[in-house]
Structure 1
Amino acid sequence: MIPYSYSLHKIDNTADFGFSADEYSRFKFGDDRVARSFGKALADGFINYYLVDNLITDQIVVISSPYSFIPTATFAMKNYFVSQLNRWLVENGGLAVQETKVHRTITYKEDYGELSAEERLSLIGNDSFHIDKDFLAGKTLLFLDDIKITGSHERMILKMAKEYGLTNEMHMLYFAELVNKNIHPNVENFLNYHQVKSIFDLEEIIDGGNFCFNTRIVKYILNSSSSSFTIFLERRNAEFVNQLYDLSLGNNYHTIDAYSKNLDLIKDYIKNNNYKLI
């Protein structure tokens, strides 16, 4: 089973990525405006590259990158990819897409974007992915991710497909792909943190009116120094703090020692504010 593969941007040097590094960084930390731009661009690219000459008349299922409880940044991009793709499909006699999820079992503190190819494979190799095989029967699968660096995530998806005995037509779609293997995989973190150097750089994104939580921003907040975190927390409204806490629990971040101190601060903050209200 060899899947089709498409990436909108091919990274072959670090001087010109073909897209804004600042925008990509904002996207990775929850800027939904950029997610909209990226998702629509990826849909248009895939349509022109493949669908114009190879209309898929079977049911298409779009699947975002695997997550446990908190979606990844790719999930936000997926929403706009689906909207753009649906418009084209329906106008050209196709079916509106369906969606499903790849469940993952492990969450980890390590910053994936900083790791080498070997370290990535070692880390993600301990994870396991799960999907609803019966729902997928007879359908064409589009797996979305924001960036392909070493291909370790793709290998895990294909491993899952083999274990489930999937014979579906599969497409692996990426907003960007590192094609120059002489560039170290940590170029991903160069992009991730291009505009976010501290927890306070998040405030512009959060307050910009187009913010959505994802795994990266939650982990980044929880992993910040307690002194900075306390100041940051005092500047957030109750809705944000409560959502941050609930998402953290849902992803079992309370079981990770490195996050426990800041989670205790959130818990105290919520209790104290509830007490003030009473």
Structure 2
Amino acid sequence: MQHNTYSLHKICTSTGFAFDAGGYSRFKFGDGQQASLFGTALAEGFIKKVLENQVIQQQIVVISSPYSFIPTATFAMKNHFVYRLNRWLAENRLPVVQETKVHRTITYKDDYGELNAEQRMKLIGNDSFHIDAAFLRGKTLIFLDDIKITGSHERMITKMISEYALDNEIHMLYFAELTNPDIHPNIENYLNYHDVKSIFDLDSIINGGSFCINTRIVKFILNYEHHSFCVFLQNKSKKFLNELYDMALGNSYHTMDSYALNLNYIKNHLFKNHQVLA
């Protein structure tokens, strides 16, 4: 098995970044325009640094970061990565990308970006990842994620690959990677919340015309202080409220006590009172 890693941007300092920190924050909360910019840039970097030097002749399969029902922010970035990569592949008369999914079994309330390396591995180590191994035989795999901080997700992917006895050529791709070990992993939290300090900062993202719902924004909204949550919902569209509720159910958030108050408010005060038509 050949295992390669490529990251478009390296994080070497906590005071300056080679990418727009505010744009990254908005991307993490569902800004589709930022997802397009990041996915396209990552594809162009990968083409220039890797594919133009060593063309991959095998069928390529692109795999976004693991999720259960609600996609991660990386999923939106993945779409634009694939669009750009497919254009290059087609121009070079190579097979266009196939896709598949890594399934995960556990969802958790904890904010991953706050944790150190040991805490991250302890949290994610309880999870298990699953993939259609038969579909992947004889193909080159590109695992996509937005950022690499401690490598715990990558270790879980590597563990899954070993468990399925996959001997594929594998590329781990990241929009950004923390390369300075002296920087605490919670730099990820700084980036995640750079432009989102409160629930009301989400309005410009949701109403921006390219919103892509993801796990982070659903958890953030459902876990928010109840009064502010209720105020936040007052001017939201039926489409958004239905999507928020359905995504929450799909990830079994209705079984988690920490989300019960806000989720039940949507169910009881909005749907049952016919303020929102399902």
Corresponding residue for 1:272? Answer: 273
State TM-score, norm by structure 1.
0.98
> What letter is aligned with 1:105?
T
Alpha-carbon separation, structure 1, partners of 2:51 and 2:260 = 48
- Alignment of 1:75 with 2:83, yes or no, is no
Contact kept, 8 Å, 2:2 with 2:168, in 1: the verdict is no
Q: In the alignment, is residue 155 of structure 1 matched against residue 152 of structure 2? A: no
Partner of 1:184: 184
2:54 & 2:94 partners in 1: Cα distance?
11
Q: What SS does structure 2 have at the residue aligned with 1:272?
A: coil
Kept after mapping to 2: 8 A contact 1:55/1:94: no
Partners of 2:258 and 2:91 in 1: CA distance: 50
2:207 corresponds in structure 1 to 207
CA contact (8 A) 1:199 1:232 kept: yes
In structure 2, the partner of 1:138 is 138
Q: Aligned partner of 2:79: which letter?
A: N
1:242–1:270 Cα contact (<8 Å) kept: no
Supply the RMSD in Å over aligned alpha carbons. 1.2
Superposition misfits of 4+ residues, deviation over 2 angstroms: none
Superposition deviation, residue 271 in structure 1: 1.4
**Count of residue pairs the alignment pairs up:** 277
* Preserved contact between residue 114 and residue 185 of structure 2 (Cα < 8 Å): yes
**Match of 2:167?**
167
* Mapping 1:218-257, distance limit 5 Å: 218-257=218-257
For 1:39, the equivalent position in structure 2 comes to 39
Hey, what's the Cα distance between the residues in 1 that align with 2:107 and 2:142? Answer: 24
- 1:270 Cα offset (Å): 1.3
Query: Deviation per CA, 1:158-187, whole angstroms, max 9, x where unpaired?
Result: 000000000000000000000000000000
Relative to the length of structure 2, the TM-score reads 0.98
Q: Which secondary structure state, in structure 2, belongs to the residue aligned with residue 205 of structure 1?
A: helix
> Cα deviation per residue 1:35-71 (whole Å; 9 max; x = unaligned)?
0000000000000010001111110000000000000
1:2 CA displacement: 5.0
Residues 217-259 of structure 1: CA distance to partner in whole angstroms, max 9, x if unpaired? 0000000011001011111111111110010000001111100
Q: Return the offset for 1:93.
A: 2.0
Q: Where in structure 2 are the equivalents of 1:18-97 lying within 5 Å? A: 18-97=18-97
Matched with 2:98 is 98
The 1-side partners of 2:170 and 2:151 are apart by 16
The secondary structure found in structure 1 opposite 2:145 is strand
Structure 2, unaligned runs of 5 or more: none
Distance in 2 (CA, whole Å) between partners of 1:215 and 1:222 is 11
Separation of aligned partners in 2, 1:256 and 1:181: 35
Supply the AA of the counterpart residue of 1:143: F
Where do 5+ consecutive residues of structure 1 fail to align? none
Query: Which of 229-238 and 174-183 deviates more?
Result: 229-238
Letter in 1 for 2:152: S
2:174 is paired with a residue of what secondary structure? Answer: strand
